[in-house]
């Protein structure tokens, strides 16, 4: 990820900061583990004041496959998965791909999951699913929105959890 432009590195570290904030406010906080940050992304997160003392969060520069040699409890969240996540399982570690996508890396997290032999799932977003977005809204969410949805879904249903999404993603009231 060293080729990530500075702007995207800052954006990803800002999204991680938002994850930490959402976790602190959560009814049932999750363990936040940031892995595999190198180069510009690592230095951008390192510039965030107090990151090393975040409670319930840790940063590990090693890649995912080194941090989790046994990947049986992992599920990679990716919009391209055929499996719809129906509930958040406390015994499962959910992986949120850290690409600040901008549609340039379409399918990259799904390909990474397949390469590592990690199960995949997608959030229940779309027509007929628990979370229905506005017609113009992309199903691809920022890392912090995925994280907050997952944390909220531990203690509520998906529709209630989706209240955290920004207005531009929400379906207009009928």
Instruction: Classify the phi-psi angles of 126: left when phi > 0, otherwise alpha if psi is within -120 to 50, otherwise beta.
Output: left
Q: Which of 113, 33, 41 is nearest to 67 (CA)?
A: 33
Determine what percent of the chain falls in helix, strand and coil, rounding each to the nearest 5: 35, 15, 50
- The answer to whether the beta carbons of residues 59 and 67 sit under 8 Å apart is no
Rounded to whole angstroms, the Cα distance separating 150 from 87 reads 9
- The answer to whether the beta carbons of residues 35 and 62 sit under 8 Å apart is yes
- Joined together, the tokens standing for residue 31 give 């363990």
- The answer to whether the beta carbons of residues 130 and 159 sit under 8 Å apart is yes
Tell me, yes or no, if 101 is annotated catalytic. Answer: yes
Instruction: Report the helix count and the strand count for the chain, using DSSP H and E.
Output: 6, 5
Q: Determine which one of 2, 70, 101, 129 is catalytic.
A: 101
Show which residues are catalytic.
Answer: 101
């Amino acid at each position: 990820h060293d080729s990530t432009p500075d702007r995207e590195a800052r954006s990803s570290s800002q999204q991680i900061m938002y994850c930490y904030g959402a976790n602190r406010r959560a009814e049932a906080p999750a363990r936040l583990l940031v892995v595999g940050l190198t180069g510009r992304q690592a230095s951008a997160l390192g510039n965030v004041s107090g990151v090393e003392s975040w409670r319930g969060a840790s940063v590990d520069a090693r890649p995912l496959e080194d941090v989790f040699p046994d990947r049986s409890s992992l599920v990679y969240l990716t919009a391209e998965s055929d499996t719809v996540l129906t509930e958040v399982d406390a015994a499962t570690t959910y992986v949120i791909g850290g690409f600040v996508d901008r549609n340039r890396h379409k399918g990259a997290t799904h390909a990474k999951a397949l390469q590592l032999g990690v199960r995949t799932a997608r959030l229940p977003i779309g027509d007929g699913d628990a979370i229905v977005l506005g017609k113009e809204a992309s199903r691809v969410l920022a890392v912090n929105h995925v994280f907050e949805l997952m944390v909220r879904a531990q203690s509520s249903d998906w529709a209630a959890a989706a209240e955290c999404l920004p207005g531009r993603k929400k379906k207009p009231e009928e």
